[in-house]
Amino acid sequence: MGIKDLLRFMKPYIEPIHIKKYAGKRVGIDAYSWLHKGAYSCSMEICLNTEGDKKFQYLNYFMHRINLLRHHNIVPVVVFDGGDISCKDATGQERSRKRKANLDLAMEKLKEGNRNAASELFQRAVSITPSMAYQLIQILRSEDIEFVVAPYEADAQLAYLSSLEPENGGIIAVISEDSDLLAYGCPAIVFKMDRYGNGEEILLHKVFESATCVPSFRHFDKELFIGMCVLAGCDFLPSVPGIGIAKAYSLVSKYRDLDRVLSMLKFEKGRQMPEDYPESFRKAVAVFQHARIYDADSESLKHMIPLPEKLLQSLDGDLDFLGPGIPPSIAAAIAKGNLDPTTMEAFDHFPSSRPHMNPSSKIHAFGTLLRQEATAVSKSESCFSIISSHKTGKEKSKGKFFKPT
């Protein structure tokens, strides 16, 4: 997930922090990142769709961290992934293939009675679905937590929110495990946040301004940085054989022009470089700059950054790779968590046999259970106390469309 080996390469720019640094601020949460981590503890129950509440432990994990943020007077803004974009199809298919293979192996180990081996394989097989996200959305609503479902990539939506002022629904930082956020241009990202609030932070302005850190990016602009990330291999385009993050950095640093980099890559790699690589490369770079996101003011889709005329002409009007257009009413319904972003079905019209879809009353009851469990955990570990969802007017968020309704 993300740019291959980017965080390892950027280690000189990573600093340990505690999340309380952002007290009084609005911070974005990459929802699927926490959902994936939370699902590890109940992956077998999710994959087997067993009865009982254990398969919902991913919700407990998520709300434990939400309450940690609220304890430190941080306003969490939860952003969910939406539908897939076409240039990510190959990545999605490969991930599905691996999950299916791990699921088959897990079932074999389970039949053999080897539950430990099966459990590890189920963790690799588990997939977070929109219906699981909807379970969380209902709890977020009951807890008055801001959220939005992106039309496509949550990373793009988070980057867009990072560009807005807080009074307009913007955020000051993002908590995630996805290095793509660096390529999208998020100014502050916290990785590997643990249950106590400790994490690792990268500030993008320090990356471009530091005079002492190596590798140096002082002669890079944002487009060159994105180009380096795409060359190294990302979800939208695999790298050319033999090109990793270090080689990608070396090429971009030497030539400081992406067209020249592509020319030299073709000269060096010859037939190892696919014929359509330059076009695919430019599209991948464009995704990190101009992906479609949901805009609160217009309640419709727009591009993160407007497309320049030269790029529009080169694409000949074909913009679906940035996320196909969606009518405003549909986009708003997705953003508010009322429609499945992949099927466009209304969540409250799912048949009762749909996995993980429990009646609303059970969700609210489970939300109460989560708070009780989290309180018990915090008392036993002296980690933090649970914040009541009844906030004062001063603590209420100023978000325009994330506010649960």
pLDDT in tens, 87-106: 888 888 999 999 999 999 99
Mean pLDDT over 36-40 rounds to: 95
The residue that leads in pLDDT, 296 or 170, is 170
121: left (phi over 0), alpha (psi -120 to 50) or beta: alpha
Cβ atoms of residues 288 and 229 within 8 Å: yes
The whole-number pLDDT of residue 194 equals 96
Cα–Cα distances (Å) from 3 to 159, 175, 184, 324, 369, in that order, read: 16, 17, 11, 24, 38
pLDDT tier at 196, thresholds 50, 70, 90: very high
Q: Would you state the pLDDT for residue 1?
A: 63
- Cα–Cα distances in angstroms (integers) from residue 298 to residues 289, 301, 302, 327, 369, in the given order: 20, 8, 9, 12, 38
Higher pLDDT, 82 or 371: 82
Specify the range with the lowest mean pLDDT, choosing from 72-76, 218-222, 270-274, 353-357.
Answer: 353-357
Burial readout 357-383 (b: 16 or more C-beta within 10 A, e: otherwise): beeeeebeebbeebbeebeebbeeeeb
What pLDDT is recorded for position 146? Answer: 97
In whole angstroms, what is the distance from residue 221 CA to residue 204 CA?
11
pLDDT tens, position by position, 362-397: 444 444 444 444 444 444 333 333 333 334 333 443
pLDDT band at 117 (very low <50, low <70, confident <90, very high): very high
Q: What's the pLDDT at 379?
A: 44
**Helix H or strand E encompassing 146:** strand 146-149
